[in-house]
Structure formats: C-alpha cells, structure tokens
Amino acid sequence: MPSPIALSPSSPPPSLFLKKKKSSLSQIPPFPTAASYLSALHEADARARGQVVTPTSTPPLSISSSLTSASGDTVLNEPDADRSGLTYPLTAPTSEQVFTTVHTEFGHCANQDYRCVSQHDSEKPVAEHKIEEPPYYILFTTYFSYLLLIIFGHLRDFFGKQFAKSYFTHLVPYNGYAPLNSDFDSFYTRRLKRRMDDCFSYPVTGVAGRTILVYDRYSEDCNYTQMYPGTKTRALNISSYNYLGFAQTSGGCADAVEESIKRYGISMSGTRREGGTCDLHQTAEALVARFVGMEDALISSMGFATNSTFIPALVGKGCLVISDEHNHASIRVGVRQSGAHVRMFKHNDMDSLEALLREVISQGQPRTHRPWKKILVIVEGLYSMEGTMVNLPKVVELKQKYKFYLFVDEAHSIGALGPHGRGVTDYFNIPPRSIDVLMGTFTKSFGAAGGYIAGCKELINSLRLRGHSGPYAEAMTPPVLMQVVASMASIMGVASPTSSNPKASSQALTVAPQADEYIHPGMAPASSLPTWLSLPPSLSDGSEARERIRRLAFNSRYLHAGLNKLGFITYGHPFSPIVPLLIFNPGKMATFARMMRARRPTPIVVVVVAYPATPLVTSRVRFCVSGAHTKDDIDIILRACDEVGDILDLKHGHGERWPLEEIMKRSVELVNSL
C-alpha cells in the first residue's frame, strides 16, 4: 500500500546519484493568474478523484483533497496566496498524485528523491563538531554593539530616573517597599531585549504546521506596547518544534483525538497517584516503553516538569551529576532541587568528560573524600540551541569503563532521528538498554505535550512513587494522551493481530511474529492499542510516518548543506532538524528576523536567539526544519537567506561556495555528499 501523502506509483527505486530527470525549478507552472492555476488544480484533483481508489476504511474527515482546507480561515481570501506557495504548492500536482493533507499544514511533496534515511554510518567515526570562527572585525563590531547598547542604556536610565520617573516606579523603592525587580537585574531586558521585542512572543492562531498565521502588530512607543490592527499574515513556519509534521487539524491522529475527547472528556481531574490514572495512561506508557525499547516508561503532563520533578528522585545528597554545559534549563532546575553535587563538562567534548570522570572518581566527594554514592551523567540527544548531536557511542564506551549512570534527554531527538524515528539510539544503532534513563518530550515530534521517562521496571516504579509529579502534579489529559498514542503508533506501524500480512510491513520494519512479542524497533502489536482506535491504513502500516521521517532527514540535510554552500556559518549535525545560522551582531539579528518576516510573496517567521540563551557573541537564528516542509519551502528559505545574508554581510564561512541556482538544482547530490 503506497503512502497517500506522496503517491507516485510508477516511481522506480530512487537511484540517488543519477542525474535528476527534472529539476524542481522547471516544474513551476507557467500560470499567469491565480484563477488559471486554481482551475488547473481543480482539474487535476477531479481527475485524481476519478481514478485513484481512496482507502475506504478511512474516516470521512481525513479524506480531504489538496483543495480542501480544514483551517477555519479560508485560504481563498488571503492575498498573495497564489504566488507565495503557502496555501497551494508551487508545483501543481499531477493526475496520479493524491494528497490527503492540507498543504498549509503539511506540504505536498511527491518526489521520492527528496527523501533521506537518518542513520549513522558505523564505519565512519563520529564527526567532531567543528566551530567556524568569524573574521575579527565581526567579533569586534559585536562587542562594540553591546558596549554601545550598555552605555546608551545606562545614559537613558540615568536621565530617565531624573525626568521620567513614572517609567521607573517599579525599579526604585517606594513607600517602604523594595523594588520588585532591581534595575541591575532587569537592565538587559529593558535596554537590550526591548529594542527587539517585536521579534519575540508573536501571537499566532491556527495550527503551527508548515505555515502559521501570525497576528500583525506594530509599536509606536519603542515596544512598550504592541498595537494589533486585527489582521493576520500567513507565513512559512520554520520555527516550531514540529519535526514530523504532526501538528495537523485533520488526518488519522486528529480523528483519534476527537474520538478520545468524546470518550474520555478533557481532563483526569487529579494527580496520577490520587485517582487521576486512566486506562489510556497505561496504554500510552506501555507504548512509549516499546517505542524507545525500554522495559517500562512513565508519562508526565509537562516536558519541563519531567526533568525538574523526576531528577530529584534519581539523585540526592552524596551523589554527583555530571552535566553538559549546554543542558536545558529544566535539567538544571531538577539537579538543583535534588541537592546533588554538580560538575559540568565542555559541550559534547568527550575528552573533557573523561578527564572530569577520572578526577571526580579518584578524588571522591569534596572535603570528606568519601566515594560518591553514584554518578549520573546527563546529556541531551540533540542540543536545542546548537543542533549538535551527542557522541553517544563514546559516552556508552566511557560508561562501561567508569560505571556511571547515563541519562539521555531526547527532548529533540526522539522521533526526529534514526531510520525508525526512535531517537539517538536508533541513529547510532546502539541498544537502548545500554542506557539507564531515556527521557523525552511529546511536544516536538509528536505534536502533543508532556514528557516521558523510560528505563527498567524497578527504576520506573521507584520514580512513579518518589518523583514529585506522581502525588502532586496533574495527570496528562486524555486528548494529549491520544495524540501521543496515535502518532507513536503510526511511526511504529501496527502489526495486525493475525500477522498474516507480511506485504504491508515488509519494507524497513520487522514483523512481530506474535502480537505480544515485540522486537525493538518493531511494530506496535494491535493488542497494545485501545480497541476502539481505528487508524487509517496509511498510518497503521507505518508508511506515512516513514515518509515523514525521511522527508525530515532530507530537509534537515538540505538546509544545512545549502546554507553552508551559500557561505553561512552554521552549527550542528547535518541530520539535526535544528539548524542554527550564526549572525553575531545583535543589531543584525533583529533586522534578519524583520526582513524575513517582511518578505513577499512568502513571509518567513524565524526564531532569533541571543545572550543569555547563547554566549554573548554568537547570536543566531535557529531554524527548526519539519517533515511537513517541501523541497520548494527549503528553496524559498535558502533564497531568502541568500538575499538577506548579502545585505547584512552574514556570509563568513570558509568552505566552497555555490550559487543558489546550483544548490537548488543539485540538492539531492548535495544531501548525499555530506
């Protein structure tokens, strides 16, 4: 059963190194007006409906042709909708192609060449992460910009306190109260961040899929207040954590969630240990354990809280936590609450980790020099600001030697990495059980919310009992649980109970011989899912999700490679869906975001981050690629970066440079050459 996301029946097994038959550029249809394009689309759609037999068991809601838009805002009255490529693909679908997704949420891309398998080549060593240095004048002007901002900030504070007292009431003591926030602590926020506040916290509406509707806003008083005229703009979304494109309003997952709301309601009205546990929790936990390849798993209703409330149950006084310096804030909060001693090692630097391990084990606890009770090394699978991937083979090797416990935070990597989407262990083909604790979130790849911790049964039971979330935090709500179950089951594929259908599951997934037996990374036994759940065939055979994973891998690599060939400095692993592009100067950073948003016909919304989330000099824009993006979308982003990068002087990479057209034309070759 071919995938209905991208159906191209006659496509031979893609030979990636052959010269491409058709370039994507030549496919842009020569339709002069929106009307003619639409009518052509109508025609193609009508033909497709007539010819292709759509899966009959699919619930009616998920059959939506390329023309129907399930979003509440009708796409037709959006200006520029025709040329932007946002609401309709730039490449018109051919008669054989039937897409069941809404293009604004999940892009239509039928070309099987634009796929890639995310897998580590075990013969190659794990690539060290190289950091390219910018020219000195860039560093100088960056420091100078900050200096200027600080000087002007202090000047404005000084004169402001004399002449515009009303703005400073909350910063000075009044009426016997100390100021709520000291002007020193809030200096950065008031004087540096406020200048570019228009780049953050944009209110949006609708689904955060491939495109997103942002509310227009402007400020007349230097970002103190924002004015909303009430209009909205649809923009290409390269910012949301929607790696596999499960942020959708239609399709099998949304249908399952709707059914779950009807059956279970909205909330479990209580904590897990005080009557807030339902059968869906057990189903989801068992499924997560299978998905990641561990004995057992527990689920927490918030990703941040998964770290901050369960790490204290793992370590305590007399224990040592060794943490990567770029670990997420939630890990830091959790470690701080635990009372354990913390040491940091240089980001992803295995030599630094080993040296530290040798030191701490030989020296023991400070002052008393008693041996540590236990040492927990906490690393992330993919680092959210750097896009780097942990050198897991080396960490596991060190673990054998130094006997520490290993906690891998897969918040970003689960779903997004590995040929089966099972995260960083799948990518490196390392047995998951060689790691003690696997943690991850459902926010990113699964389009849900919350997080999980997986490990051996004894550990998980102990965490259920001793973690803070069990007795005090609200249980995960049924709709969120259902989204987790449905999206996860669709990534795994569902083994039919009779297992008499080897054809459907022959490709990359191994067939579970019996319904209850599970070999990692295999399909989910049908018995492990709620009986009332009926996923459409494309989801239950895993073909659609496989497409999503492969599209994500291609898009990630293509954007990485494309930006490098354009001459930008980027960080991170080529397979990482997080692609940070270095901007350095704080002023350019804000300008970059504004210019991208102001682009027509296709506005692009980007995430820019600066100090304190990053080191002072390395301000960056962080692209989050999704499997919902098409190759055309990445082309649009590359073109935008190319043009904006020229204006802002951002191209400081040392590698070989290609012109944009060549990058776009030779994309497949580029992706495979990395």
Partner 1 sequence: MSAGNATLEPLLTWLTLILAQLERTFYKVPGSAVIARYVRSSHQNDPGRTVLELILIVFAVRTLMQSRSRDKSEGKLIKFSEKEIDELIDEWTPEPLSAPLTEWEQRDLASVPVIAGPNGPKPKILSTGKTVINLASYNFAGLAGNEHIKERAIETLRKYGLGSCGPPGFYGTVDVHLELERDIADFLGTESAILYSQGFVTISSVIPAFCKRGDIIVADRAVNFAIQKGIQISRSTVRWYDHNDLKSLEDVLISVEKDRRKRGTPITRRFIITEGIFERDGEIVDLPKLIELKHKYKYRLILDESISFGSVGRTGRGLTELYNVPASQVDMLVGSVANGLCSAGGFCAGSTIVTEHQRINGTSFVFSASMPPLLAVAGSEGISFLRNTPSALTSLQENVRAVRAVLEKTEGIAVVGHRASPIVHFHLKIPCIANGSANGIATNPTTVMPPPTGPSFDYEAEEKILQDIVDDALANGVFITRAKRLRGQEMVETRPTVRIVVTAALTKKEIEKAAGVVKGSVAKVLGKRKA
Shortest distance in whole angstroms from residue 564 CB to partner 1 = 24
Applying CB under 8 A, the site for partner 1 has a residue count of 131
514 by Cβ neighbours in 10 Å (0-12 / 13-18 / 19+) ranks as exposed
Q: Is 415 in the site for partner 1 (CB under 8 A)?
A: no
Shortest distance in whole angstroms from residue 313 CB to partner 1 = 8
CA-wise closest residue to 386 among 591, 570, 626: 570
CA dihedral in degrees (620, 622, 623, 624; nearest 10)?
170
Q: Is 535 in the site for partner 1 (CB under 8 A)?
A: no
How far apart are alpha carbons 149 and 669 in whole angstroms?
45
How far apart are alpha carbons 391 and 400 in whole angstroms?
15
Q: Is 266 in the site for partner 1 (CB under 8 A)?
A: yes
Q: Is 533 in the site for partner 1 (CB under 8 A)?
A: no
Identity of the residue numbered 228: Y
How far apart are alpha carbons 452 and 673 in whole angstroms?
36
How far apart are alpha carbons 102 and 265 in whole angstroms?
27
Between helix 392-402 and helix 350-363 the angle, nearest 10°, is 20
Interface positions, 76-105, toward partner 1 (CB under 8 A): 105
Q: Is 416 in the site for partner 1 (CB under 8 A)?
A: no
Q: Is 362 in the site for partner 1 (CB under 8 A)?
A: yes
Q: Is 623 in the site for partner 1 (CB under 8 A)?
A: no
Q: Is 326 in the site for partner 1 (CB under 8 A)?
A: no
Binder to partner 1 among 236, 305, 382, 389 (CB under 8 A)? 305
Q: Is 303 in the site for partner 1 (CB under 8 A)?
A: yes
Shortest distance in whole angstroms from residue 104 CB to partner 1 = 11
Interface positions, 193-222, toward partner 1 (CB under 8 A): 193, 200-209, 212, 214-215
How far apart are alpha carbons 113 and 552 in whole angstroms?
13
Binder to partner 1 among 78, 80, 96, 258 (CB under 8 A)? 258
Shortest distance in whole angstroms from residue 69 CB to partner 1 = 11
For 308-321, letters b (16+ CB in 10 Å) and e give bbbbbbbbeeebbb
Residue number with CB closer to partner 1 (152 or 228) = 228
Interface positions, 174-193, toward partner 1 (CB under 8 A): 175-181, 185-186, 189, 193
Residue number with CB closer to partner 1 (25 or 261) = 261
Shortest distance in whole angstroms from residue 51 CB to partner 1 = 29
Query: Which residues does 183 contact at the CB level (< 8 Å), separation at least 6?
Result: 157, 168, 171, 172, 190
| Two tokens, residue 668 | 């497949």
Interface positions, 420-439, toward partner 1 (CB under 8 A): 436-437
Residue number with CB closer to partner 1 (208 or 553) = 208
Tally Cβ neighbours within 10 Å of residue 659.
Answer: 11
Residue number with CB closer to partner 1 (405 or 658) = 405
Residue number with CB closer to partner 1 (218 or 472) = 472
Contact 350, 391 (CB under 8 A): yes
Q: Is 602 in the site for partner 1 (CB under 8 A)?
A: no
Query: Which residues does 220 contact at the CB level (< 8 Å), separation at least 6?
Result: 227
Residue number with CB closer to partner 1 (29 or 265) = 265
Q: Is 534 in the site for partner 1 (CB under 8 A)?
A: no
Interface positions, 637-656, toward partner 1 (CB under 8 A): none
Interface positions, 438-497, toward partner 1 (CB under 8 A): 441-444, 446-449, 458-459, 461-466, 468-474, 477-480, 483
Q: Is 528 in the site for partner 1 (CB under 8 A)?
A: no
Between the alpha carbon of residue 408 and those of residues 50, 311, 324, 368, 474, the distances in Å are 50, 12, 11, 30, 25
Tally Cβ neighbours within 10 Å of residue 2.
Answer: 12
Residue number with CB closer to partner 1 (372 or 658) = 372
How far apart are alpha carbons 170 and 192 in whole angstroms?
18
Q: Is 72 in the site for partner 1 (CB under 8 A)?
A: yes
CA-wise closest residue to 641 among 596, 587, 580: 596
CA-wise closest residue to 394 among 384, 406, 376, 410: 406
Strands 437-441 and 451-455: antiparallel
Shortest distance in whole angstroms from residue 353 CB to partner 1 = 14
CA-wise closest residue to 246 among 18, 469, 487: 487
* Part of the chain binding partner 1 (CB under 8 A), chosen from 21-29, 42-50, 127-135, 169-177: 169-177
Q: Is 165 in the site for partner 1 (CB under 8 A)?
A: no
Identity of the residue numbered 29: P
Contact 538, 489 (CB under 8 A): no
Q: Is 351 in the site for partner 1 (CB under 8 A)?
A: no
| Two tokens, residue 353 | 């980790």
Shortest distance in whole angstroms from residue 624 CB to partner 1 = 8
Interface positions, 370-399, toward partner 1 (CB under 8 A): 371-376
- What sign for the dihedral angle of Cα 601, 607, 611, 617? negative
Q: Is 230 in the site for partner 1 (CB under 8 A)?
A: no
Residue number with CB closer to partner 1 (242 or 413) = 242
Q: Is 37 in the site for partner 1 (CB under 8 A)?
A: no
Binder to partner 1 among 40, 67, 139, 333 (CB under 8 A)? 333
